[in-house]
Each structure stands twice: as C-alpha cells, then as structure tokens.
C-alpha cells in the first residue's frame, strides 16, 4: 500500500511560489502521482498528474525525482484564491485494478 505523507499545513503570501512535498516511499512501478485541490464545501478538483521528471500545466508544476519516492507540487505566484487543501494521490494496484488512496492533505493558507 503506497501510503503518502504530506505536511498538515503551510502558510504563504500572495505572489510567492509555494512548494508542497508528498512522500510515497512504497510507490509501485506503474503508479501515477496525482494532485487535487479542494475548497470548502466542494469536492476535490484535479490539478496535475505525472509519472516521472517534471510536468507543467497552466496552474502548477509537478517535480518527481528519479527514485519516485516523493513528489513536489509547485504553485507559482499564489493568490488568495489558492487557499485550499491539497491532496497527493498515488495509485495502488489491487488485483489488476487501481485502488486509489488519498493522503491526509495539506491545508494552504495564502495571506495578503
């Protein structure tokens, strides 16, 4: 079971870059790493996904080292609206199917 570990909370200011690291020491060969964002009273929303090295989209970057035992979500120039809980998700193989397990999440607070 690829358990994930993230910081419980982080604080930042508007305009700063925020890096949230997730540890997943037991990640399996074919597992992907996915990050989600959740605002209060809403379901989580997909942000970014990767397998190795670096992935970038319009909202974030995902850095994955060669051993894949951790990953870092990078949010450039955060704004107040980035205040949310961020979840790191690693796929877990189960009898040929994926059993998807969430981490506990990181609560990011962005201040003016």
What distance in Å separates the CA atoms of residue 45 and residue 59, rounded to the nearest whole number?
12
Q: Which stretch binds another protein (CB under 8 A): 10-18, 32-40, 61-69, 72-80?
A: 32-40
Contact (Cβ atoms closer than 8 angstroms) between residue 100 and residue 91: yes
| Candidate residues 59, 80, 100, 109; the one interacting with another protein per rule CB under 8 A | 100
Cα–Cα separations (whole angstroms), residue 85 to 8, 31, 71, 98: 9, 22, 17, 23
Closest to another protein by CB, 29 vs 112, is: 29
Smallest distance from another protein to CB 41, Å: 7
Binding of another protein at residue 97 (CB under 8 A)?
Answer: yes
Binding of another protein at residue 44 (CB under 8 A)?
Answer: yes
Binders in 55-84 for another protein, by CB under 8 A: none
Closest to another protein by CB, 16 vs 26, is: 26
């Amino acid at each position: 079971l690829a358990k994930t570990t993230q910081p419980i909370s982080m604080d930042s200011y508007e305009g700063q870059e925020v890096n949230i690291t997730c540890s997943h020491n037991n990640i399996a060969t074919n597992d992907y790493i996915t990050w989600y964002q959740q605002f209060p009273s809403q379901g989580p929303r997909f942000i970014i996904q990767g397998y190795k090295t670096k992935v970038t989209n319009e909202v974030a970057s995902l850095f994955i080292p060669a051993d894949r035992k951790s990953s870092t979500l990078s949010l450039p120039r955060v704004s107040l609206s980035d205040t949310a809980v961020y979840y790191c998700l690693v796929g877990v193989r189960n009898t040929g199917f994926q059993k998807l397990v969430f981490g506990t999440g990181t609560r990011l607070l962005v201040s003016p």
